[in-house]
Amino acid sequence: MVKQKYSFEKVLDNIDVSEDIFQPNLTTKLSIESALEKLKDNNSILDLGCGSGIIGIAIMKTFSDIKMFCSDIQPNAIENAKNNFMKNNLSAEIRKGNLFEPWNGKKFDYIINDVSAISTSVAKISPWFGKNVPCQSGEDGTDLALSILKDSPKFLNKGGCLQIPLISLSDTNKIIDYAKNLFLKVKITQSKSWFLPKEMDKFRDSLYKLKTNNLINFEEKFAKIICNTSIATCEEPK
């Protein structure tokens, strides 16, 4: 049963996000919107790489009877997420650890991949990653996504679903191809283009170098670099 109408801005207003953890952005918003379309009551949900906890909080504020599990590798994020769930009178099981490591032996109906999904070189010059936010996703931004895709079938209940972000500041074709090798149903549920933040314009040459090497992708239009974020759902592991 849906409790109330979802508003990203309202959820954001009701949480605190420490400066040294990942800052919620468009990918966060699209991840929430995609999950809300797909989720059902009584589902158990894992938010992998939860950061401030915003995704879990948005979902729990919208759906009743959801069991929420969150994890992050960053101790500051864990503390921040716990405080935000408390602030919103919600409860979730929150564990610290790398990717699926804290959840050995557990299974979920819905897993949201919320970990770094852009090229490490781009992350370093972006405004989204604080000083201490890890981004070990490799030059093409796919390392963590591929690892999660590979391990996820072990952590999904029958009929379960893995949701992944596809950000054009990584090699999204590689991620999609890998997903299609592992899952029978891979579907894009959300897609949005966006201007690269102004403060990154000065790194244009480096970005073009990464693009030339097919490590990331973007287009240039209206004299600006335009990127894309999509969300894909992966169901029925092969």
Partner 1 sequence: MNRKELEKLIIKIINDDEVKDLKNYEWDSLAHLTILMELDKIYPDKITSIDNIAEMNTYKKLEKALISKKLLNND
Nearest distance, CB of residue 6 and partner 1, angstroms: 14
Nearer to partner 1, 54 or 148 (CB): 54
Choice from 193, 206, 208, 211 touching partner 1 (CB under 8 A): 193
Q: Does 10 bind partner 1 (CB under 8 A)?
A: no
Nearer to partner 1, 191 or 213 (CB): 191
Residue 18, token pair as written in the block: 């420490």
Distance CA 92, CA 53 (A): 10
Nearer to partner 1, 1 or 223 (CB): 223
Nearest distance, CB of residue 181 and partner 1, angstroms: 33
List binders of partner 1 among 15-54 (CB under 8 A).
26
Phi-psi region of 191 (alpha: psi -120 to 50; beta: other; left: phi over 0): beta
The gap from C-alpha 103 to its chain's centroid, in whole angstroms, comes to: 18
Choice from 20, 226, 235, 236 touching partner 1 (CB under 8 A): 226
Q: Does 192 bind partner 1 (CB under 8 A)?
A: yes
Q: Which stretch binds partner 1 (CB under 8 A): 88-96, 117-125, 193-201, 210-218?
A: 193-201
Q: If you search the block for the tokens 């009178």, which residue do you land on? A: 89
Nearer to partner 1, 42 or 191 (CB): 191
Q: Does 186 bind partner 1 (CB under 8 A)?
A: no
Residue 205, token pair as written in the block: 């040459």
- Sign of the dihedral through C-alpha 157, 159, 160, 162: positive
Contact criterion met (CB below 8 Å) for 164 and 148? yes
Distance CA 59, CA 218 (A): 31
Nearer to partner 1, 106 or 224 (CB): 224
Q: Which stretch binds partner 1 (CB under 8 A): 74-82, 171-179, 188-196, 202-210?
A: 188-196
Contact criterion met (CB below 8 Å) for 25 and 229? no
Residue 27, token pair as written in the block: 């990918």
**Rounded to a whole number, what is the distance in angstroms from the first to the last CA of the chain?**
31
Contact criterion met (CB below 8 Å) for 161 and 149? no
Nearer to partner 1, 25 or 88 (CB): 25
The residue count for binding partner 1 (CB under 8 A) is 10
Site for partner 1, rule CB under 8 A: 26, 192-195, 221-224, 226
